[in-house]
Structure 1
Amino acid sequence: MASNQHRPKPRLSLRSNTTVPYGSMSSEQPESEAPSVQITPISQRRSYIAVAVLCYINLLNYMDRYTIAGVLISIQKYFKISDSTSGLLQTVFIFSFMLLAPVFGYLGDRYDRKLLMIVGLIVWIVTTLGSSFVKETHFWILVLTRALVGTGEASYSTIAPTIIGDLFTGNQRTLMISFFYIFIPVGSGLGYIMGATIANATGDWRWALRFSPALGGLGLLLLVFLIPNPPRGASDAQGGATLESTSYREDVKYLLKNRSFVWSSLGVTAMAFVTGALAFWTPSFLSRAQVKLGLRLPCDQEPCNPLDSYIFGGITVVTGVVGVFLGTYISKKLRDRFPNADPLICAFGMLSSSPCFFIAIILAGTSIPATYTFIAIGELLLSLNWALLADILLYVVVPTRRATAEALQIMVCHLLGDAGSPYLIGAISDALRKYKPDSPTPSWEFYRLQYSFLLCPFIGILGGLFFLTTSLYIKEDRKSAELLTSGQAPAPPETSTESL
Structure 2
Amino acid sequence: MTSNQPRPRTRLSLRSISSVHYDSLSSEPPDSDEPSMRTNSISQKRAYITVAVLCYINLLNYMDRYTIAGVLLSIQNYFGISDSTSGLLQTVFICSFMFLAPVFGYLGDRYNRKVIMIVGMVVWIVTTLGSSFVKNSHFWILVLTRALVGTGEASYSTIAPTIIGDLFTGNKRTLMISFFYIFIPVGSGLGYILGATIANATGDWRWALRFSPALGGLGLLLLMFLVPEPPRGASENKGGAAMESTTYIEDVKYLLKNRSFVWSSLGVTAMAFVTGALAFWTPTFLSRAQVTQGLRPPCKEEPCNPIDSYIFGAITVVTGIVGVFLGTFISKKLRDRLPNADPIICAVGMLSSSPCFFIAIFLAATSIPAAYTFIAIGETLLSLNWALLADILLYVVVPTRRATAEALQIMVCHLLGDAGSPYLIGAISDALFKYDPGSPSWDFRRLEYSMLLCPLIGILGGLFFLTTSLYIKEDRKAAELLTSGQAAEPLETTTESV
| TM-score (norm: length of structure 2) | 0.92
CA deviations on 1:214-243 (whole Å, 9 max, x unpaired) are 000000000000000000001011221231
- Which residue of the partner structure matches residue 205 of structure 2? 205
Residue in structure 2 matched with residue 407 of structure 1 by the alignment? 407
After superposition, residues 7-26 of structure 1 pair within 5 angstroms as 22-23=11-12
**What is the aligned partner in structure 2 of residue 337 from structure 1?**
337
Question: Within 2, Cα distance between the matches of 1:336 and 1:160?
Answer: 27
Whole-Å separation in 1 of the counterparts to 2:8 and 2:197: 58
Aligned partners of 1:243 and 1:400 also within 8 Å: yes
Alignment check: 8 A CA contact 1:241 1:487 kept: yes
Task: Give, in whole Å, the separation in 2 of the partners of 1:253 and 1:493.
Answer: 10
Amino acid at match of 2:193: I
Cα drift, residue 494 of structure 1: 5.4
> Residue 107 of structure 1 aligns with which residue?
107
- CA deviations over 1:125-166 (Å, ceiling 9, x no partner): 000000000000000000000000001110000000000000
In the alignment, which residue of structure 2 is the partner of 1:92? 92
Give the letter aligned to residue 343 of structure 1. Answer: P
Give 2:455's aligned residue: 457
Task: Decide which moves more: 231-240 or 154-163.
Answer: 231-240
The CA distance in 2 between the partners of 1:276 and 1:230, in whole Å, is: 33
SS of residue paired to 2:235: helix
Tell me the residue number matched to 2:473: 475
Residue 226 of structure 2 is matched in structure 1 by 226
Q: 1:196 to 1:483 in 2, by over 3 A?
A: same
Is 1:147 the counterpart of 2:147 in the alignment? yes
Q: Is the 8 A contact 1:349 1:385 kept in 2?
A: yes
Query: For residues 489 and 321 of structure 2, what CA distance do their matches in structure 1 show?
Result: 43
Q: Which residue of 2 aligns with 1:34?
A: none
Is 2:357 the counterpart of 1:327? no
**How far, CA to CA, are the matches of 1:197 and 1:110 in structure 2?**
42
Aligned to 2:377: 377
Corresponding residue for residue 162 of structure 1 = 162
Shift of residue 111, structure 1, vs aligned partner: 0.2
Q: Which amino acid aligns with 2:320?
A: G
Alpha carbons 2:238, 2:484 under 8 Å: kept: yes
1:31 matched residue in structure 2: none
Structure 1 residues 355, 220: closer, same or farther in 2, change over 3 A?
same
In structure 2, the CA distance between the partners of 1:360 and 1:19, relative to structure 1 (3 Å rule), is: farther
Q: How far 1:338 moved relative to its partner?
A: 0.2
SS of the aligned residue for 1:243 comes to coil
Partner letter of residue 284 of structure 1?
T
Give the corresponding residue for 2:357. Answer: 357
Q: Say whether residues 1:445 and 2:460 are aligned partners.
A: no
Q: 1:490 to 1:228 in 2, by over 3 A?
A: closer
Partner of 1:136: 136
What residue is the counterpart of 1:72 in the other structure? 72
How far, CA to CA, are the matches of 1:279 and 1:491 in structure 2?
42
Q: Which residue identity is paired with 1:477? A: D
The 2-side partners of 1:39 and 1:21 are apart by 28
Q: How much does 1:493 deviate?
A: 7.9
Aligned residue identity for 2:395: Y
Kept in 2: contact 1:62–1:191 (CA 8 A):
yes
1:121 matched to 2:111? The reply is: no
Give 1:42 shift: 1.3
Q: Which amino acid aligns with 2:258?
A: N
CA contact (8 A) 2:12 2:491 kept: no
Query: 1:282 is matched by which residue type in structure 2?
Result: T
| 3-state DSSP of counterpart to 2:384 | helix
State the partner residue of 1:51: 51
Structure 1 48/490 Cα, relative in aligned 2: closer, same or farther at 3 Å? closer
Check conservation: 2:196, 2:306, Cα contact below 8 A.
yes
Aligned partners of 2:227 and 2:101: how far apart in 1? 21
Give structure 2 stretches of 5+ with no counterpart: 1-6, 25-36, 494-498
Match of 1:14 in 2: none
Letter in 1 for 2:281: W
Q: Work out whether 1:306 is the aligned partner of 2:306.
A: yes
Q: Which amino acid aligns with 2:242?
A: T
Question: SS in structure 1 opposite 2:52?
Answer: helix
The one-letter code of the counterpart of 1:166 is: D
Deviation at 1:490, TM superposition (A): 7.0
Cα distance between partner residues in 1 of 2:315 and 2:111: 40
SS at match of 1:242: coil
CA distance in 2, matches of 1:115, 1:62: 21
* 2:487 match: 489
Cα separation, 1, equivalents of 2:492 and 2:395? 26
Residues 55, 485 of structure 1: alpha-carbon distance in 2 compared, 3 angstrom cutoff: same
**Deviation by residue 1:15-74 (Cα, 9 ceiling, x = unmatched):** xxx9966459x999xxxxxxxx96544111000000000000000000000000000000
* Deviation for aligned residue 1:435: 2.0
Q: Report how far residue 489 of structure 1 moved.
A: 2.5
CA contact (8 A) 1:101 1:410 kept: yes
Q: Is the 8 A contact 2:38 2:234 kept in 1?
A: no
The match for 2:27 is none
User: Is the Cα–Cα contact under 8 Å of residues 350 and 458 in structure 2 kept in the other structure?
Assistant: yes
CA distance 1:492–1:139, shift in 2 (3 Å): closer
Using the TM superposition, name which of 408-417 and 426-435 deviates more: 426-435
**Which amino acid letter does the alignment assign opposite residue 68 of structure 1?**
I
Is residue 182 from structure 1 mapped to residue 182 from structure 2 by the alignment?
yes
User: Structure 1 residues 292 and 39, CA, compared in 2 at 3 Å: closer, same or farther?
Assistant: closer
**1:466 match:** 464
Offset from partner CA, 1:451-471 (integer Å, 9 cap, x none): 000000000000000000000
> Given residue 261 of structure 1, which amino acid in structure 2 is its aligned partner?
F
Per the TM alignment, residue 487 of structure 1 is displaced from its structure 2 partner at its CA by: 1.1
Q: Which amino acid aligns with 1:141?
A: I
Secondary structure of the residue that 2:385 maps to in structure 1? helix
Distance in 2 (CA, whole Å) between partners of 1:472 and 1:95 is 32
Q: Percent identity?
A: 85
Alignment partner of 1:235: what SS?
Answer: coil
Distance 1:330 1:96 in 2: 35
Name the SS for the 1:234 alignment partner: coil
Q: What TM-score results when the alignment is normalised by the length of structure 1?
A: 0.91
| Mapped contact 2:11–2:492 kept (Cα < 8 A) | no
Query: Partners of 2:96 and 2:112 in 1: how far apart?
Result: 22
8 Å contact from structure 1 (residues 23, 488) kept in 2: no
Task: Classify the secondary structure of the residue corresponding to 1:236.
Answer: coil
- Counterpart position of 2:31: none
Q: Which portions of structure 1, spanning 4 or more consecutive aligned residues, are displaced by more than 3 angstroms?
A: 18-24, 37-41, 490-495
